Amino acid sequence: MGALSALEETLENRWEALWARVLDKEPVEVLDALRHECDDNAVVCRAGRIMVPNAYDVELADEVHDQLTRHGTSVGQALTDSLSRHAERRGYEFAGPLAVHVARCPDVPNGRYRVASRVMQHVSTDGFFHATH
């Protein structure tokens, strides 16, 4: 691991520790669940190429959602950035553009959060242009 990667990982760990202190342990648990979802769905396509899903849904119980968003932090962007760094460290390739969608869900099974992933098809700019006109 290069010096820059080590520094980045150290800063990320400190950021997560601060986030956990400010908001209890929930964000770190959610981030860990997101990383595990990514790791558990990794597929080796050929030597040196490991593909992972590119779309992640994070459903948060009302209380957890309120707690994570009350400080004005963009939770979705923070989770996306952290998952992107995790994938880079592991040598993963996303199956398309990475998206982490955070939503409020009153009936998550553990009463706190649920994480799921899928491969979201890439939308070309031509397809997007025709769909919007």
* 24: its two tokens: 């209890």
Residue in the structure block whose two tokens are 């593909």: 51
Q: Quick one: DSSP state of residue 97? A: S
Residues belonging to the chain: 133
Nearest to 87 by CA among 120, 114, 124, 56: 56
Per-residue pLDDT tens for 48-85? Answer: 789 999 999 999 998 888 887 776 668 888 889 999 99
CA distance 82 to 70: 20
Which amino acid is present at 117? Answer: S
Per-residue pLDDT tens for 13-52? Answer: 655 555 554 445 556 788 899 999 999 999 998 777 899 9
